[in-house]
A and B are shown apart, each in its own frame.
Chain A
C-alpha cells in the first residue's frame, strides 16, 4: 500500500490502481453521508478533483493521486456511504485507475512514512 499527503491510499490489483482514504482521514472527516463518483473512462491528471464526499460536517474532494483513466468505480458507496467509515482501507475503495507506468507509485509514501506524517 502507498500513501499520499492528502491521506489517500493506493493499492495495485491486477495492474489497476485502487484508491481510497486512510483510516486517519475517515476518522477526521466523521460519518460519511454522501459519495459522488466519477464517470467511467474519465482521463484524470494528478491533483484533479475526482470524487466528492460529504461527512456530517462538510464536503471534501478526493484528488487523483496519479495520472490515469478511471476504469471502475465502487457503486456500493453511493447507496452505503457509511462503508467509508467501516472499512476505509478495504471494501471502501472509490475508483480504479489504469496507469501507463506503475513505477509512478514508487515516489509515494510507504506505510512507515505515512505514519510519521500523521504522527
Chain B
C-alpha cells in the first residue's frame, strides 16, 4: 500500500470526500459521498467528471514527420486500419498476441505529425516495451508523464466543457483535437467509457487541478469514482481489459470484429500482418467456438464474474462463464457479460447461471444494455 502512485488530483479527491482504493498501482477514488448508484445515475442524467490520469498516454512520433509511415508501422501490432485514419480522428484498437489473444485495448488518434495512444494503466509498461521492441527506429515512442487525463461524460458534458473551451462543441464522436487554453494545451477527444456523449481531455499536470475545479464549479458536473465507471461501462456493453478481454480471448471471441476494418481482413488490401493474424482471420471467416454475449438475469440476483453458465436447469457441464456482472442502476436490474459456446449465443436464448449453488435463469441479450448516446 505504501508505494501506491497518486494522480495529480489526489488531494482534490480526498477533499471531495472520496473513498480511495488501490487500482492498477494507483490510489484511486472508488466513490465519493453520494455513492456508486447516485453517481451512475447522475452521469446519465447530467454529467460526471472522472480522473483517468492513471491511464497511459503515449505519442508515436515519426522522425521524418511521416505519420503515414508511423501508422503503417503500428499496423504490425494492431488489426486495425490505422493508415486510413483521417487527421483529427480516433479509433478503438487492440494489441494482439501471436496466439490471437489480446495484450491490451487502446485508443489511437491521428494528429498532425504524430499518433496519440491511450492505453490501460495496468498494461502501460508492457505496452510501451512492446511498442519499443517492435516499431522501427524511425518511430519514437514517448511516454507522456506530465499530463493528467480527465473524462467528462453525460448529456451536460458538451455544455460544461464548451463554457471553458468553445471549440469542443463542434467536435463529433471520435474526433481528436488540440486546443490552446488558459489551462495550457488541451488534447481533447469526443469519446469515453460510459456510452454517453462526452470528452476525454489530456491537460498539463501544472493546470490539472485548476482545470478540474473550473469544470466542477458547474453544479451539473459531479465527480464520479471507479465504482460507477464500471457499472456505466458495463451497461454500455464495453469491455474491461483483464476481465472481459485478456491474453486468453481473441478479438473474434470477444465480439470485437467491428474493430477490425475490412482492409485488414482476408481479401483486404492490407490483410493480416499483425500478431495472431492467422488465427484471428480464420476465426472471422469460420467462426470461433465461443463468443462474448450479454446476459440479463431473470431475478434481482447479480451474476458476477466467475459465475458458471449452464444450458439447462440441472446437470450437464458449464457452457460458459461470466466475466463481468453487476447491478445496472439505469436499467434497474442485474446484467452480465459472459463467454458462452456459440451454439448457446443467440439472442433470447435461455441459460442458467449458478449462484450460491442454485441455477438461476438468464436470457442472452443484445448489448449495449443501455443505449449509447454518442454525438455522431
B residues 27-67 near A (Cβ < 8 Å) are 31, 35-38
The smallest C-beta distance from A21 to any residue of chain B, in angstroms, reads 16
**Interface: A30 (CB within 8 A):** yes
User: A81–B334 Cα gap in the complex (Å)?
Assistant: 13
With A52-B356, A56-B36 known to touch, is A30 a contact of B300 (CB < 8 Å)?
A: no
Is B227 a contact of A30 with CB atoms below 8 Å?
Answer: yes
**Interface: B327 (CB within 8 A):** yes
Is B231 a contact of A78 with CB atoms below 8 Å?
Answer: no
With A30-B31, A30-B227, A31-B35 known to touch, is A59 a contact of B304 (CB < 8 Å)?
A: yes
Residues of A at under 8 Å CB distance from B? 30-31, 33-34, 36, 52, 54, 56-59, 78, 81-82, 85
Q: Looking at the complex, which one of A30, A54, A78, A82 makes contact with B302 (CB distance below 8 Å)?
A: A54
Q: Which chain B residue shows the least CB distance to A57?
A: B227
What residues of A have a CB within 8 angstroms of the CB of B31 in the complex? 30
Is A34 a contact of B227 with CB atoms below 8 Å?
Answer: no
The smallest C-beta distance from B297 to any residue of chain A, in angstroms, reads 10
Q: Looking at the complex, which one of A31, A78, A85 makes contact with B300 (CB distance below 8 Å)?
A: A78
The smallest C-beta distance from B235 to any residue of chain A, in angstroms, reads 12
B residues 217-274 near A (Cβ < 8 Å) are 227, 231
Could you list some 13 contacts between A and B, CB below 8 A?
A: A30-B31, A30-B36, A34-B302, A34-B327, A36-B301, A54-B327, A56-B35, A56-B37, A56-B231, A56-B329, A59-B356, A78-B300, A82-B37
Q: Which chain A residue shows the least CB distance to B301?
A: A34
Q: Which chain B residue shows the least CB distance to A61?
A: B356
Is B334 a contact of A31 with CB atoms below 8 Å?
Answer: no
Is A56 a contact of B327 with CB atoms below 8 Å?
Answer: yes
User: A85–B227 Cα gap in the complex (Å)?
Assistant: 17
The smallest C-beta distance from A6 to any residue of chain B, in angstroms, reads 19
Q: Which chain B residue shows the least CB distance to A52?
A: B356
User: A31–B231 Cα gap in the complex (Å)?
Assistant: 13
Is A33 a contact of B227 with CB atoms below 8 Å?
Answer: no
User: A30–B302 Cα gap in the complex (Å)?
Assistant: 15
What residues of B have a CB within 8 angstroms of the CB of A59 in the complex? 302, 304, 356
**Interface: B326 (CB within 8 A):** yes
User: A59–B327 Cα gap in the complex (Å)?
Assistant: 12
Q: A30-B227, A56-B37 are in contact. List 19 more A-B contacts (CB 8 A).
A: A30-B31, A30-B36, A31-B36, A31-B38, A33-B37, A33-B302, A33-B327, A34-B302, A34-B327, A52-B356, A54-B301, A56-B35, A56-B36, A56-B227, A56-B231, A57-B227, A59-B302, A59-B304, A78-B300
